[in-house]
Amino acid sequence: MIHKLFPYLCKNYVSMEYKNRIADKLLRDKLEAMGAVLIEGPKACGKTTTAEQQAKSIIYMDDPV
């Protein structure tokens, strides 16, 4: 219920433990070599969750603050 009233409070809430993906090592290597990457894929396939696990900082463009 709280997530419906105050979604910004729950933005970083993860209900399940992160499971390592095959792409994690590749993502780490590319970030180290290039500094930035573009992650593309279908809706709800784990793009944001995977990126959040590797990111040193996160800027949400839809965040009003």
Q: Using one digit for the tens of pLDDT, what is the confidence trace for 37-62?
A: 889 999 998 888 898 888 878 877 87
In a domain, 4, yes or no: no
Would 8 be classed as within a structural domain?
Answer: no
Q: How many domains does the chain fold into?
A: 1
Residue 28's domain spans which residues? Answer: 18-60
For range 22-43, the mean pLDDT: 91
| pLDDT at 14 exceeding the cut of 60 | no
Q: Structure tokens of 37?
A: 């990457």
pLDDT-derived band at 29 (thresholds 50, 70, 90) equals very high
Look at residue 11 and tell me if it is in a domain.
no
- 1-26 mean pLDDT: 69
Is 32 a domain residue?
yes
CA 31 to CA 38: how far, in whole Å? Answer: 10
For the residues of the chain, what is the DSSP string, one character each? -HHHH-GGGSTT--SS-----THHHHHHHHHHHHS------STTSSHHHHHHHH-S----TT---
Model pLDDT, residue 5: 54
pTM score, two decimals?
Answer: 0.58
What pLDDT is stored for residue 26 in this prediction? 92
* Contact of 50 with 24, CB cutoff 8 Å: yes
